[in-house]
Structure 1
């Protein structure tokens, strides 16, 4: 399979000698498993699950490759600076080695001080030669490594472009599979009129969240929601990313919010961290596109800042189901990405218990980057 071959090639690059190579190898294995699952998918829901795993594997593999290229670029810079600093010494070394490597004439073997001086100089050269040879070997190794790193970075641009093309194809297929999905249970049916009235009358996220019960019909007949208290502190983040701002931290404009902000890469897939009902998805206030999930009675997960949302209000989603994509242009970005670099998109996450906000860090296992 073309997608699988791409990730396997990624894992087989010289980056495999680094930590990022092991991450890429694991991503390749995950992609292989997702490929098998996708080939055996019998309905739209199976395809949604398999494509979700495929996209995650691509995201992990490409992130590992970018991190490996970042390390390669740093190593190349270190070596080039080292070689530049040793430039004069290297020139002298090469001159000595050239002279030693040539055929010396009989006259060149004579010393002005006679046979004793010739013997002493011969002993000196014999003592220095192993050190010069070691320096030459180190220099040769450094030059070879620089050449290999340059070749790696030149070839990586094509690999990244192919990987980004593959993940984009998987995202397109996912959107179609979600559109074809018809077997998800629904806890209630949305009343569009009441939804529009609530949105127009709402000035705050708190007010909107409090009025969500007004936009549901037939909910009293629905299956009761489970208790997720035992999952507190262990839930995975809905998107691959790192913590940018904690709850209550001011943003650039000095505005504070009770939720957290996660920095993500463009086009990152957003999934539900646990089984939950979609309470709302769509534009809301100044939050952009918003998805509000209800995983348990009186608990709401609010995810804001998406570029695309999936699903219908009232649907019950299994854990790990896709709920949307982040925005931004995906491209084969420069290898110099660090823990936060390259993550140009932000997802706002707020947790509400009853009518009060609760620090999301009490619920999610967060990588602080």
Structure 2
């Protein structure tokens, strides 16, 4: 009966596929990213162009933290998967251990004796020769799974320190970036902001369309527009200003049935938002029901409207280079316990903030995906 039980394990040996990159490897690689970001932060504070260096550092921290969260999520999923497999195979594993234990109790000559004589002994020897490698392979698979569970648990326990260092580091980098932008004096100025005229314009308009149209006529004494290059050739190729997923495309109704001509992006809390092109800051501040708004003008007759940021950088009238930080999203970075406890859910709840992007050419709003490269499936 032992041999019948042992043969049942032969079919269980095959079919255990393994991912090319394990969850543990992914999490370790992410921890290395955070370590590199920490070193970059030290160098950025000494950099001649501190704004550019700190922008890259914040983005490196954000990428490292996102990768570490994903690595932990995959680790938790893998641990749960192995746990379910082991639970489902408890009886079979117990029998496997019993067979292996029984095989080691008696001397080999006694084990090979068979009551039917030499022919039976020969047949039992052939069966043993066939089954033993499968039993060894199954035992090795069990040992590998148990070791992997141990590694994954140790990984998750050790991740708290790396996460805390990363969250502290990115906050320090954001603070340093904000200060560096405040201290910046090297940006050209196309016009001086007139807060009185802007306030009157806001008071007299009820729509974003009216406000955007009015902006182009209230500014006086502008420098030559040739300070900015033509960006028409980049239509459809611009990167989104923040790492995000498309929540709603242009003219898709929200939960209240409201349709807007822009994109709604789901972002992580405190994500850094950057300018997709070199542009003039036409406006920054609260506007109508859009919250805090930044309006960029890459070239005459073209405006990018970004709404939903908690903090905005720069001054109205400044000409900023492509990739310049223009603001931070709101929200709170998730706490250590929250990240570890929900890392296996994969629900996407880490993208708690929304950024709205509207593109206006002349007096008309156009689909932002004419300009920006996005995942059309959202």
TM-score, scaled to structure 2: 0.84
**Aligned partners of 2:321 and 2:23: how far apart in 1?**
36
Query: 3-state SS of the aligned residue for 2:180?
Result: helix
> Do structure 1's residue 346 and structure 2's residue 354 form an aligned pair?
yes
CA offset at residue 236 of structure 1? 1.2
Native 8 Å contact 1:272 1:319 kept in 2: yes
Q: How does 1:90-105 map to 2 (within 5 A)?
A: 90-103=93-106
CA offset at residue 21 of structure 1? 6.6
Q: What is the aligned counterpart of 2:47 among 13, 36, 41?
A: 41
CA offset at residue 26 of structure 1? 7.0
CA offset at residue 199 of structure 1? 1.2
Query: 3-state SS of the aligned residue for 1:219?
Result: coil
Native 8 Å contact 1:30 1:57 kept in 2: yes
Deviations 1:240-276 (A, max 9, x none): 1111110010111110000001111000000101100
**Aligned partners of 1:360 and 1:174: how far apart in 2?**
28
**Which residue in 2 is equivalent to 1:357?**
365
Deviations 1:11-59 (A, max 9, x none): xx975745x77677678767766754x25523xxx11111000001111
Q: How does 1:310-325 map to 2 (within 5 A)?
A: 310-325=313-328
TM-score, scaled to structure 1: 0.86
Query: 3-state SS of the aligned residue for 1:63?
Result: helix
Unaligned runs of 5+ in 1: 1-12
**Aligned partners of 1:16 and 1:47: how far apart in 2?**
35
**Which residue in 2 is equivalent to 1:157?**
160
Which piece of structure 1 moves more, 122-131 or 349-358? Answer: 122-131
Query: 3-state SS of the aligned residue for 1:127?
Result: helix
Query: 3-state SS of the aligned residue for 2:308?
Result: strand
**Which residue in 1 is equivalent to 2:198?**
195
Which piece of structure 1 moves more, 170-179 or 118-127? Answer: 118-127
**Aligned partners of 1:23 and 1:246: how far apart in 2?**
31
Aligned residues: 352
**Which residue in 1 is equivalent to 2:16?**
none
Native 8 Å contact 1:35 1:54 kept in 2: no
**Aligned partners of 1:48 and 1:196: how far apart in 2?**
30
**Aligned partners of 2:184 and 2:58: how far apart in 1?**
18
Q: What is the aligned counterpart of 1:330 among 330, 333, 348?
A: 333
Query: 3-state SS of the aligned residue for 1:182?
Result: coil
Q: What is the aligned counterpart of 1:287 among 290, 306, 330?
A: 290
Q: What is the aligned counterpart of 1:140 among 143, 161, 164?
A: 143
